[in-house]
Amino acid sequence: MFYEKELYHYLILHFPIALFITGYLFDLVFFYNKDNFYSKCGFMLMGCGIITGIISIITGFITDNTLVGHMEEPFPIWTTHGTHMIVSIFIFLCLFILRYYNDKSKKLYFNKMFIVLHTLSILFFMHGAQMGAKLADRL
């Protein structure tokens, strides 16, 4: 039995939230522990979060087109859940690319600036997720 196409966003949106936050926690452990296992886990979780985030954005457009309609006015970013999440996934993609090239060059990229950027990205992402919960009357 299949769900209505509008409900897939509600089923998928939990994956990027869990993956990004868990990856961030692994990165924090690596920052203090310096065990490469945690770095690899954080890297893979961020990559999976980006993939599921893109899928969540696609299903979000389907849901918005059918039920909500808030993307008719996508700006300002702070008040529109869809635009907020698109920018958030783009920020994580930039961090992922930066991390990939720094890993490839064998430079230590996990300095304080990367952790600060990652923390700000997580906070920005969580704010957008909270806006989506309000939009869906979950809060």
Closest CA to 56 of 11, 102, 117: 11
> Residue 68 to residues 18, 82, 103, 139: CA-CA distances in angstroms?
24, 11, 41, 16
Choice between 55 and 133, residue whose per-residue pLDDT is larger: 55
Q: Total structural domains in the chain?
A: 1
Query: How sure is the predictor about 139, in pLDDT bands with cuts at 50, 70 and 90?
Result: low
Query: How sure is the predictor about 94, in pLDDT bands with cuts at 50, 70 and 90?
Result: very high
Whether the predicted pLDDT of 46 surpasses 90: yes
Where are the alpha helices (H) located in 64-111, listed in sequence order? Answer: 81-104
Question: What does residue 4 show for φ and ψ, rounded to 5 degrees?
Answer: -65, 150
Q: Take residue 134 and report the two structure tokens written for it.
A: 């309000």
Q: Could you report the per-residue pLDDT of 52-65, keeping only the tens digit for each?
A: 999 999 998 888 77
pTM: 0.87
Distance CA 67, CA 70 (A): 9
Q: Which domain holds residue 39?
A: 5-135
